Amino acid sequence: MAAAEAVAMAEKEVADLREKCETPAELLREVASAMADEMGAGLEKEGGSRVNMLLSYVDKLPTGREEGLFYGLDLGGTNFRVLRVQLGGNEKHVVNRESREVSIPPQLMSGSSSELFGFIASELAKFVADEECANVLSNGKKRELGFTFSFPVKQRSVASGTLVKWTKAFSIDDAVGEDVVAELQTAMEKQGLDMHVAALINDAVGTLAGARYYDKDVVAGVIFGTGTNAAYVEKANAIPKWEGELPNSGDMVINMEWGNFCSSHLPVTEYDQELDMESLNPGEQIYEKLMSGMYLGEIVRRVLLKISLRSSFFGNIDHTKLKTRFLLRTPHISAMHHDETPDLKIVAEKLEENLEITGTSLETRKLVVEICDIVARRAARLAAAGLAGILKKLGRDGNAKEQRSVIAIDGGLFEHYTKFRECLQMTLGELLGEEVSKSVAVKHADDGSGIGAALIAASQSQYRNVE
């Protein structure tokens, strides 16, 4: 096939992709409405929606007045973090903060529950032993810990929850169905560590808490990283499935688990369908598969593979690398998407480094950037529609000049992929309109899940009212 013919064929495929990934404002408003409806259905009854709307049992968020020494433990992947914060109340906020990151030995990710929690507790004990401010705990008080555990759990109270299933690289069978707080508490006791787990939360709830500590107008915490999730503050009397007494605060933080959202309005292409069918959880987490960091590079790879197989778009190449699933990562497509060199040198480097594709023309490289743009833009616009859905559910999408609403966002995709972040912010403005946008802010919340755990431990402290 002649080069010009190959390029023309590739351009046609890209135009077709752009059309299938289109997200006009009208469509996004439908997505936002569907999200708000699913949220309502999930609050109505257990299993009433694909969006689980789990009760976090966190009814009190930090106010900024908390004082004392608190710990956080953040377990969500191949590393975990322990941190210690000294809170100084209204005037001083966080007086001191120290943290340590620890890699989990691979064999412990598929060993036994007691081995994993034993290892975590021993590292926590070492961290406590290094305490410089050992004199801050007096009158026989126990140390208190907030535990961020970013795996699906069924919570029964603010400090207990049974593991539903492992995700990511973990598969420890004897922990499934067990209370992860009880496992950690037992392991800490074996280490002689006198510490009480005051709260069990996930990273979205932690992000919400960490941001709320500094800004009382924060209404939601959202993660856009490898995966995606959101948590927000709901009125307790708007949760029909709630059983038992309503909390005094009148509020309840809801962990949405929104990655599982699905709607006929989502612009799904053949590439997404194939990715879903070949995934570990076909038919699940559709929203997440369209817009989280784990999948964007893989979608682009699939598009490049199809074009390359149908035409000699990349010349005569060996397709082995291009056929390798998840070989192209989101940081690679971000680097190509942000390439501003006149000859798109970075695009050429990434294609060569990752896919062993060499000698590409400038025209070819431009098309690769366009594919990255289509996939990332769709992701960012769908993400903005989800945020608009939360605001709609809270009745904050109308003209509410008096009412400021802040959404705190954490995660590498939002933090490092500039074009994703800018497109998300612009799209939210487009969906809300100029007037409402003035009262809505999107903020980057750095390290929400770690500090958030310690802050929730403080707001749930058993010594809160003890002088």
Catalytic residue list: 81, 150, 203
Q: Which tokens in the block code for residue 83?
A: 């941190």
d(CA 74, CA 167): 15
d(CA 199, CA 460): 7
- DSSP letters for 37-98: HHHHHHHHSTTSSSS--EE--------S--EEEEEEEEESSSEEEEEEEEEEHHHHSEEEEE
State the SS3 of 338-402. Answer: CCCCCCCHHHHHHHHHHHCCCCCCHHHHHHHHHHHHHHHHHHHHHHHHHHHHHHHHCCCCCCCCC
Residue type, 29: R
Burial class (CB in 10 A: 0-12, 13-18, 19+), 180: buried
CA dihedral over 309, 315, 317, 323, signed as positive or negative:
negative
Cβ(322)–Cβ(357) under 8 Å?
Answer: yes
- Distances in whole angstroms, Cα of residue 334 to Cα of each of 272, 329, 418, 437, 447: 19, 9, 8, 27, 22
Closest CA to 332 of 296, 292, 381, 378: 296
The neighbouring-strand residues paired with 319 are none
Cβ(217)–Cβ(232) under 8 Å?
Answer: no
Q: What SS3 class is residue 223? A: strand
d(CA 23, CA 16): 14
Closest CA to 202 of 194, 210, 190: 210
Helix (H) or strand (E) holding 233: strand 228-235
d(CA 434, CA 87): 38
